Amino acid sequence: MAYRISPAWWPVIALTSPILFPMLIRKNSRFKKNIQVSQKVNKERIKKAKPLVLPQLEHFELTVLVEQKTEHGFMGAPGVSYFIKTDLGALLFDVGFGPEMLALAHNARKIGFTMAQADALAISHLHPDHMGGLQAVRKRQVTVPKEIAGPQGRPCFVPADASAEGFQAEVVEGPRMLAAGVASTGPLARSLFFFGLTEEQAIVARIKGKGLVVFTGCGHPTIETILQMARRLSDEPIYAVGGGLHFPITDSPLRQRGIRIQMIVGTGKPPWRRLTDADLSRTIDSLNAVAPQRVFLSAHDTCDHAIDRFKNELTCETDVLRAGATYQL
């Protein structure tokens, strides 16, 4: 199995252990407390949620602007950005690493996309691969490349307090309609060892004669929790599930200097524990129990091993999302 941290780093870790280990102990104490907080908060939010009047959409089209996997001629990146068009409008969901990687600007130019085509922007959660890069996280400001900037002042729906350059930021506090006939689950929480208590919203839409479509950014709160909330918002069947599910079991699409970053951060486990095939099996079983007709997998935070297992073991039509591709739901 691949090393999560290259052996070249091991002497550095040993030398810094007098500083590193006490820091990890403190973070682990906070991490454990946040696990209890997130479980309690999510249970209360799901119980409190009321059904939304979701419009019956005749048309739901998703064009992938940023993903790890690509169509020919498009650039890949370990982040996501999805452009959604319905018969009621259009919404951009996430902006990948924004201006810090070339993928979004390059792929948008190739497709002919700018924010002028979208009624609003929604950000799943405030991590660099979704809100526009490391500087965006440091500034707590959603950032899009200037090449796709559109009219000033359009809404940007965020799951926690943040600004949005060129947009009117609106914090989503619970389930609500956003734009284009698409709703938010409202923020759901997850304790992450390095990121702390993380809030993430997923998007939900209702397709006439089919049921609910649910798309995530990373799926940090777990897809099981997200689908519990979706079912509180509507009694329609779950027709399709898509986006990130965060299963970097054997590899990490995001690597830096010998560190397989996603195998260490964002897993919902402390860094000395790995995600396992048993964890993956539980999620596969949960999805099969929900029985969606279609699943659209993101490779931006999930290894090829996990994707192969999803494709082979899910009992529904399963696609891997690719930058440059358009999917009709």
pLDDT, tens only, 112-137: 999 999 999 999 999 999 999 999 99
For the chain, first and last CA: distance in Å?
37
pLDDT at position 1 is: 62
| Whole-number Cα distances in Å, 6 to 15, 106, 266 | 15, 32, 19
Class of domain 7-328: alpha beta
Residue 213's beta-bridge partner residues?
205, 240
With a cut of 50, list the residues of the chain below it in pLDDT.
none
pLDDT at position 150 is: 82
pLDDT, tens only, 68-86: 999 999 999 999 999 999 9
Percent of the chain exceeding pLDDT 70 equals 100
- Alpha-carbon span 283 to 167, nearest angstrom: 36
- Alpha-carbon span 221 to 317, nearest angstrom: 24
- Alpha-carbon span 329 to 7, nearest angstrom: 45
pLDDT, tens only, 22-38: 999 999 999 999 999 99
Q: What is the mean pLDDT of the chain?
A: 96
